[in-house]
Amino acid sequence: MANQIHPTAIVDPKAELDGVTVGPYTIVGPGVQIGAGTWIGPHAVLQGPMRIGRNNKIYQFCSLGEISQDKTSKPEDPTSVAIGDNNVIREYVSIQRGTMKEYDTKRGATTVGSDNWIMNYCHIAHDCTVGSNTIFANNASLAGHVGIGDWVILGGYTLVYQWTRIGAHAFTAFSAGVSGDVPPFVMVQGNPAKPRAINKEGLRRRGFKPEEVEPIEQAYKTIYRSGRLIADVKRELDELGRRSPHVKLMADFIGAGKRPLQR
């Protein structure tokens, strides 16, 4: 499939494009690989090393693959960005390269999965890992080393502190300030954010059955309302997880954490 590159766009000879549309005044640097069917609007800047998959829509004034804002970063570092397929990346989004701080574990990569909807002015910093089917509302921002699970929704102006994780199917309300781990399925609100409930409406929309939601709700109450020590909470979740794969997901998430839970 032939590329469609506007005459005013600048595409480096060392970039690899396969059936890509590139809009006016966009710059694509060396080391950028872009898959078939991806559309890039005007005035975007894409820098390598970066790999972008198929059928993405990247709107005007995005900055993707630039060196991170971490002071230790150098242009010659072998760090990168990897973006999957079918993402919509709206105006003024910035996604930055990883750092050498996680080169051994993540090969210095910032990664974004597939089928994500990332709205205006969102920022994904160095060494972040974003899953698939997420929604980032306007101005949601991730500090470095953040992990976002599949199907997460970040409300507008959500701020996520460095090294924090947000588990699959979790939800943050408008302007949430998240500085601790948010387990899968949990809704948080406020700044600092506090847990409010499980994301029951989101689960209903995704086809979860009532008998699947019930143990998730029980696990939530165990974590946040039982008043038990976290060691006791983990033991009870492990027991519940033998009967519910969704609770097992929550138990595994809590067991792997480096930061305290958002409580």
Please give the positions annotated as active site: 126-127, 144
Which residues neighbour 85 within 8 Å (Cβ) at sequence distance 6 or greater? Answer: 35, 53, 54, 55, 56, 114, 115
With H, G, I as helix, E, B as strand and everything else as coil, classify residue 148: strand
Q: Can the peptide bond before residue 49 be classed as cis, meaning omega within 30 degrees of 0?
A: yes
8 Å CB contact between 253 and 150: no
CA 157 from chain centre, in angstroms, equals: 15
Residue 219 main-chain phi, psi, to 5 deg:
-65, -40
What 69-73 contacts at long range (C-beta under 8 Å, 24+ apart), as own/partner pairs, is: 69/96, 69/125, 69/126, 70/99, 70/101, 70/126, 70/144, 72/99, 72/100, 72/101, 73/97, 73/99, 73/100, 73/126
Query: Which residues are paired to 32 by β-bridges?
Result: 50
Three-state SS sequence of 109-131? EEEECCCCEECCCCEECCCCEEC
User: How many angstroms separate the CA atoms of 231 and 235, rounded?
Assistant: 6
Give CA–CA dist 164/128, Å, rounded: 10
Instruction: Give the closest residue to 23 by CA, choosing from 64, 58, 47.
Output: 58
Please state whether beta strands 186-189 and 194-198 pair in parallel, antiparallel, or not at all (unpaired).
Answer: antiparallel
